[in-house]
Amino acid sequence: MSGRAIPFLVLLAALVHAAAARADEIRLKDGTKISGTIVGFENDSFRVETSYGFALVQKDKVADINISATKKEPEPKSKTSSPAPPPAPAKPAASPAVAKESPSSTNTSTVVNASAERSPVATNISPASAKNEPTSAKAVVAPAPPAAPPPLPVPPEPPVIRDEIRGNVYVNHSYAFQMYKPPSWEMIPAARKALPDAVAALGTFDQTTLLVIGRTRAKDSLDVYAAATGKALSGVYENYRLISTSHVTIAGLPAVEQRSRGTADGRDWSVVLLTLVRGGDAFTLLGMTWADSDLIQVQENVISKAVNSLTFVTQ
């Protein structure tokens, strides 16, 4: 698969899941920005985990990568207070004057001095005992070492798609649908490997005309889902111009068709986007062809014929 189709593979992923959680930002050389988390590098391509799944982005298509990291808050400094000075020793109680000629006074002096020696107020506090006294200073606790970052999640294996071409009919056994395959088209399995939500990819050999079909779980109504995919489409193409929006019927189901023009990969493209909901599944059909080609009307009609031939079959 040539590098020319990579922007469109990334585009389909944005259409299937319009909301994306920002982490690392990859800017492609054509101006496309991809937000997600780079989880690996394989076959000269970055494997990026986004809110819509995993995508492979070729290294030679990347202009720059802005890796954002969680800002680490500075650890608060422990407040230490100076230790309180030991209390000053109390002065010993003064002994009253004793008259030598009075025996009773001598007895009284002996009692007073003995009681003063036993009094805790008159006892001097030794330096050793002062160290053991509790103070108002808080103990300084060493900060715990930072926890090791959790291991990177193992990306899920892409689902196995069972499909085949029978003459001019493309048959997808995994999701039970089939459609007309123009004679000049072929399957592009590399698109399914790059986009976990892509279940079919067809187009010309030079990839000037492409049709990619995506499938995801339906969480909203048809109109809400169509509006979300249309908004995502407008944010990817440069000079995006919405030409028309209409309600049509595809495979016997209500669908919303949006036709537009926009610039990507240095070329002007004619784009048709169809969204439909079948049971619990939401399908996106994205058809693109070069708008600056003399065969634009022919290729637009070929895409319309393929899309309108979509049929769900009972297996």
pLDDT of residue 27: 83
Length of the chain: 315
pLDDT of residue 201: 93
Q: Look up tokens 């929006």; give the residue.
A: 245
Which region among 27-41, 46-60, 69-83, 159-173 has the lowest average model confidence (pLDDT)? 69-83
Residue 146 pLDDT > 80: no
Helix, strand or coil, per DSSP, at residue 250: strand
Sorted by sequence, the CB contacts under 8 Å of residue 157 that are 6+ apart come out as none
| Cα(197)–Cα(185) distance, integer angstroms | 21
Q: Which residue has the higher pLDDT, 200 or 21?
A: 200
Output the CA–CA distances (angstroms, integers) from residue 245 to 38, 226, 259, 267, 301, in the order listed.
36, 10, 7, 23, 17
- Record the tokens describing residue 307, joined without a space: 């899309």
Beta-carbon neighbour count of residue 64 at 10 Å? 9
Contact, 188 vs 203, CB < 8 A? Answer: yes
Q: What is the pLDDT of residues 70-104, one digit of tens each?
A: 444 444 454 444 455 555 555 554 444 444 444 44
- Record the tokens describing residue 103, joined without a space: 């025996």
Q: Look up tokens 């809110």; give the residue.
A: 51
Q: What is the pLDDT of residues 289-312, one digit of tens each?
A: 999 888 899 999 999 999 999 999
| Cα(45)–Cα(67) distance, integer angstroms | 16
| Cα(154)–Cα(261) distance, integer angstroms | 38
Q: Summarize the chain as % helix, strand, coil (round to 5).
A: 25, 35, 40
Q: What is the pLDDT of residues 52-75, one digit of tens each?
A: 677 788 888 888 887 665 444 444
Contact, 285 vs 307, CB < 8 A? Answer: yes
Query: pLDDT exceeding 70 applies to what percent of the chain?
Result: 65
Among the residues of 55-171, which ranges form H helices?
103-118, 127-131
- Record the tokens describing residue 197, joined without a space: 């939500």
- Record the tokens describing residue 251, joined without a space: 């495979």
pLDDT of residue 8: 54
Question: What integer is the mean pLDDT of 199-223?
Answer: 91
- The residue type found at 66 is N
CATH of domain 3-69+159-312: 3.40.1000.10
Longest CA pairwise span in the chain (Å): 142
Please, how many CA atoms are within 13 Å of residue 75, restricted to the half-sphere of its CB? 9
- Record the tokens describing residue 174, joined without a space: 């995994």
DSSP 151: P
Among the residues of 88-126, which ranges form H helices?
103-118
pLDDT of residue 156: 61
Q: Which helix (H) or strand (E) holds 215?
A: strand 209-217
DSSP 194-230: H-TTEEEEEE-TTSSEEEEEEEEE--S-HHHHHHHHH
Residue 151: pLDDT band (50, 70, 90) is confident
- The residue type found at 196 is P
pLDDT of residue 116: 41
Q: Which helix (H) or strand (E) holds 66?
A: strand 62-66
Cα 271 from chain centroid (whole Å): 28
Domain boundaries, the chain: 3-69+159-312
| Cα(183)–Cα(304) distance, integer angstroms | 15
| Cα(187)–Cα(171) distance, integer angstroms | 11
pTM of the predicted model as reported, rounded to 2 decimal places: 0.56
